[in-house]
Amino acid sequence: MIVVAGEALVDLLIAPDGSVTAKLGGGPYNAARAIGRLGHPVTFLGSLSVDRFGSRLFEHLVADGVDNAATVRCDLPTTLAAAELDDLGAATYRFYIEGTSAPALDHVPTSLPTPTAVHAGTLGLVLEPMGTTIERYIRTLPDDVPVLLDPNCRPRVVADRQAYLGRIEGLYGHSHIVKLSTDDIEYLCPGADPLSYAHALAASGPLAVLVTAGGEGAWAVTEGQSTMVPGRRVRVADSVGAGDSFGAAFLAWWLDHGRTAADLADHHAVVEAVDAAQEVAAFTVQQVGAEPPRRHQLSARWQRA
């Protein structure tokens, strides 16, 4: 079973005309639902409120097949994110965090078995005590459990940039896969060429670095090799959840095909998984809010997995 660790919240999507739509979200929450919808065993390690928003977040996890054994409930109100959408559907976020549910994760349930893989990122690497809880959990995993790290940087939330960079760089050494957008790389290393940054990272620890570049596609980078996998041409409703679906689909595809952490050294296999993940991300951006596909809504290759 894949463990997805991080935050769950409610996105308030603000359209250019000022209209507001409430959608369930949070990068790791979206990823857990995406994996569940693809039919792969998954559990969500995070904190949910017992308020109405929290109950709805919980209900949708269950409906999408996500195991809740690692999900903690609390009395704090649900964390909110206001996502302002531009005319192209791109989102800019503001977060309402203090005294809310998402950061409250302060332990990992002792009943949680050793996972088949771990996906962690976004605010799960920033907010406390959640960030420390997740970092400690990752550092205790067996070396052969694939870890996908998705920083999904949110600069507005980072109070101490140097401490945040230190955590990310420390976790690189415990991650087999690192997923980054070009915007993430610009924040982590201003002015760096994204592909050069990815190659340097792949040579220093992680076996695979996946660099997403919106509609252009995504780079699959392993030590000494890189391939640009073109994006799909689709009509974009908004970009919310696209990267979350991409990382989730990569992991689900990888494990569905019986591949291991060591197999990440196979560049061709990484490219194949990136291409499959691109299909899932392309479906997601055609929906309003983070609404990833179910397996039957995808092409024949996903049915054979």
pLDDT digits (tens, 9 = 90+) for 228-244: 999 888 888 777 789 99
CB 79 within 8 A of CB 19: no
Q: What is the pLDDT of residue 54?
A: 98
CB 39 within 8 A of CB 295: yes
Give the ranges where the chain is alpha helix by DSSP (H): 27-37, 52-63, 130-139, 161-172, 182-188, 194-202, 242-256, 267-285, 300-304
Q: What is the pLDDT of residue 190?
A: 98
Phi, psi torsion values for 266, nearest 5 degrees? -85, 100
Strand 20-25 vs strand 9-14: parallel, antiparallel, or unpaired? Answer: antiparallel
- Grouping H, G, I as helix, E, B as strand and the rest as coil, residue 186 is helix
The per-residue pLDDT for range 130-189, each reduced to its tens digit, is: 999 999 999 999 999 999 999 999 999 999 999 999 999 999 999 999 999 999 999 999
- Grouping H, G, I as helix, E, B as strand and the rest as coil, residue 240 is coil
Q: Which of 10-14, 93-97, 131-135, 234-238 has the highest mean pLDDT?
A: 131-135
Q: What is the pLDDT of residue 228?
A: 98
Task: Enter the tokens of residue 101.
Answer: 């549910």
Q: Which fold has domain 2-304?
A: UDP-N-acetylmuramoyl-L-alanine:D-glutamate ligase (3.40.1190)
CB 277 within 8 A of CB 246: yes
What's the whole-model pTM score?
A: 0.94
Q: What is the pLDDT of residue 94?
A: 87
Question: Is 80 exceeded by the pLDDT of residue 91?
Answer: no
Rounded CA separation 273/260 (Å): 13
CB 42 within 8 A of CB 35: yes
